[in-house]
Structure 1
Amino acid sequence: MTSAADEKARLRSERLDARDALPTETRIEASLVMAEHGDAGLAIEHGTIVSGFSPIRSEADIRPLMTCLKRRGARLCLPVILDRQTIVFRELVPGAPLISMGFGTVGPGPDAEVLDPDVMLVPLAAFDADGQRIGYGGGYYDRAIAQLHKKGLFPRLVGIAFDCQEVASVPAEPHDVRLHAVLTESGWRRFEP
């Protein structure tokens, strides 16, 4: 019998291969369409703290969406890996330098304010129609979400993916937290009641 972790690893590899196979032009166009869907469908108020991410490898580029949200008054932040266990979210402000964060990504430096997001735009390897996600296997977002929950904070979790990353079913484990929605180039898939 295959364990949940083994099945997740198989699905992760399969869906990342499918994402990697998308031509660069397709990913760029899909990312721009995602920004339009995201801007139109993400309810935020002035001052809402939104965590995004700097795209790596073949991820969707959400920088156009983040620009739209900033224009609408969102405070933006990016994840910063402090050590093998911890992510914090540092504020992204115009003109502030970005530094290498490892893993091929960049983020605000140590002088940037650490924020607790109200909305988290979450990268992922795979997702299903119930809002379960498979990350990249390091557990960073799972731990970051758990830390926010310990503080009594429950941000809206929005997975960011291409349509090709959907799978029939993600085997859920006890530490997994269901997404509220996924945003793809086809639009929104909402899982919240």
Structure 2
Amino acid sequence: MNSAAIDIKDRLRTGALARRDALDPGFRARVSAGLGEAAGALGVAPGSVVSGFWPIRSEIDLRPLMAALADGGGRLCLPAILDRTTIAFREYVPGMPLIDMGFGTKGPGADAAVLDPDLMLVPLAAFDAAGNRIGYGAGHYDRAIARLHAKGRFPRLIGTAFDCQRVEAVPAEAHDAPLGEILSESGLRLFPLAP
């Protein structure tokens, strides 16, 4: 990655996360609670594997959505951080005990089955109207998506964020996996977004 792109991504990430952190906590909680109602809009077939994530800091909280997807027959998984460069998706059943995964997040222990997601609810720091995203800088999701593609698996990629995390343009590079959709307080929308 070139240094100019790194600098731009760092600046965009910092600004988007500051805007997200500044949101009223009550607003964040209301949006997160309402995500359960979006389960039907996702069109997840019973038995489909959906990866979510345990929220950290001021992230949108997917737990209500994940519970609704499980109630509808979806099979859930959460990322497990295996090392500095690798995540695996371990099966998650709502209510099961979770362990500390580092970075403030939680996930299923090593005894949980490893699954390949059909649909990935992807965390992000910032996104643009074309579906490019900026993560937290470790590249875990880009590498996980590349590994799935190498296995012939092409999961549906839905970014999850608050609208305030949208930026003008993300300097996308060849290794960056673009999103197909975004789920925010404005609902589920396909990329590219309207201006």
For normalisation by structure 2, the TM-score amounts to: 0.94
1: CA distance, partners of 2:102 / 2:62? 19
For residue 152 of structure 1, what is the aligned residue in structure 2?
152
Name 1:14's counterpart in structure 2: 15
Contact residue 181 and residue 188 of structure 2 kept, 8 A: yes
Distance 1:33 1:16 in 2: 21
Aligned equivalents of 2:94, 2:107: Cα separation in 1: 12
C-alpha distance in structure 1 between counterparts of 2:95 and 2:160, whole Å: 26
Q: Is the 8 A contact 2:90 2:115 kept in 1?
A: yes
SS in 1 for 2:136: coil
For the Cα contact (< 8 Å) 2:88–2:114, is it kept in 1? yes
For residues 36 and 126 of structure 2, what CA distance do their matches in structure 1 show?
Answer: 20
Number of residue pairs the alignment of both structures matches? 191
Give ranges in structure 2 of 5+ residues lacking alignment: none
1:5 counterpart = 2:6? yes
Q: What amino acid maps onto 2:188 in structure 1?
A: W
In 1, the alpha carbon distance for the partners of 2:152 and 2:95 equals 32
- Counterpart for residue 42 of structure 2: 42
Distance 2:87 2:157 in 1: 16
Question: Secondary structure in 2 aligned to 1:115?
Answer: coil
* Per-residue deviation, 1:39: 1.2
Query: Equivalent residue for 1:132?
Result: 132
Shift of 1:43: 1.1
8 Å contact 2:9–2:134 — kept in the other structure? yes
Matched, 1:67 2:67: yes
Alpha-carbon spacing, 1:185–1:113, altered in 2? closer, same or farther (3 Å): same
Residues of 1 paired with 2:40 and 2:94: CA distance? 23
Q: Flag the 1:94–1:123 CA change in 2: closer, same or farther, 3 A.
A: closer
TM-score normalised by structure 1 residue count = 0.95
Give the direction of change, closer, same or farther, for the CA distance of 1:167–1:111 in structure 2 (3 Å limit): same
Give the Å deviation of 1:5: 1.5
Deviation of 1:95 after TM superposition, in Å, equals: 4.8
The answer as to whether partners of 2:53 and 2:123 remain within 8 angstroms in 1 is yes
Aligned equivalent of 1:173: 173
Name the CA distance, whole Å, in 2 between partners of 1:4 and 1:31: 32
Identity %: 62
1:113 alignment partner in structure 2: 113
Q: Is the 8 A contact 2:66 2:76 kept in 1?
A: yes
Q: Is 2:25 the partner of 1:29?
A: no
For residues 44 and 109 of structure 1, the distance between their equivalents in structure 2, rounded to whole angstroms, comes to 25
Q: Which amino acid in 1 is paired with 2:169? A: S
User: C-alpha separation between the residues in 2 aligned to 1:18 and 1:95?
Assistant: 31
8 A Cα contact 2:53 2:62, kept in partner = yes
- Structure possessing the higher relative contact order (Cα contacts under 8 Å, 6 or more residues apart): 1
1:50-96 Cα distance to aligned partner (Å, 9 max, x none): 00000000000010000110011000000000001110000012453
